[in-house]
Amino acid sequence: MHHRAGWLNPVFEGLSYAGRLGLLWIGIALVLSALYRRWGTLGLTILAVALADWSSVGLKALFDRERPQFRYTEPEPLLRSAHDGAFPSGHAATSFAGATVLSFAFPKLAPYLYVLAAAVAFSRVYVGVHYPLDIVGGALLGVVVALGLRYLVHGQRRRVRSTTADTQAGS
C-alpha cells in the first residue's frame, strides 16, 4: 500500500510541474503586481525565488541525500526527477520564498498563498521524488531567504530615510 489516490495523480503532477523553478510564484507576482501596480513586489519575488533555488542547489550538493526513487523500488515515481540530492526540496524552497514575499505585500492573500505553497511542496512527496523532511527543509529555507531579503530591503529603506532626514535637518 502507498500514499496515492489515483484520481489525485493529475492534480499533484500538475502542481509539481507548476512549481518548477518557482515560475508559478513569479507568474502570481506578475499578475498581482500588474493589478495593484506594485512592481517592487515582482522584483523581490523573482530575487527571493532565485536565491531560494540557488541555495537549495548548493545544499543538495552538500547533503547529497539520495532521492526515494533511487533507494526504493515501490512506489514507482509519477514524474522523473533530477539525479541531484533530495534535501532540501527546491520546489518547497521556491514556493515558500514566493509565498512569504507575496504574503508581506498582500497580507489578505497569505492563507491562500501558503496553502498553495504547501500543496506544491507536498506534490513532490506525492509524486515520489522527495521525502517529507526534504519538504520541511525546503520550506524553512524559502521562508528564511524571504525574511532575510525583507530585512535587507527594509533596513536599506530605513537607512536611506534616516540619511535623507539627517541631510534635510542639517540644511
Q: Is the pLDDT of residue 1 over 50?
A: no
Q: Is the pLDDT of residue 78 over 60?
A: no
Average pLDDT over the chain reads 84
For residues 127 and 79, the answer to whether their CB atoms sit within 8 Å is yes
**Which distant-in-sequence residues (6+ apart) come within 8 Å of 69 by Cβ?**
76, 77, 81, 128, 129
Report the distance separating Cα 84 and Cα 57, nearest Å. 8
Domain map (residue ranges) of the chain: 24-164
Report the distance separating Cα 40 and Cα 84, nearest Å. 33
Q: Which CATH architecture has domain 24-164?
A: Up-down Bundle (1.20)
Q: Comparing 33 with 5, which gets the higher pLDDT?
A: 33
Q: For residue range 80-123, what is the model confidence (pLDDT) as tens digits?
A: 666 677 789 999 999 999 999 999 999 999 999 999 999 999 98
For residues 42 and 106, the answer to whether their CB atoms sit within 8 Å is no
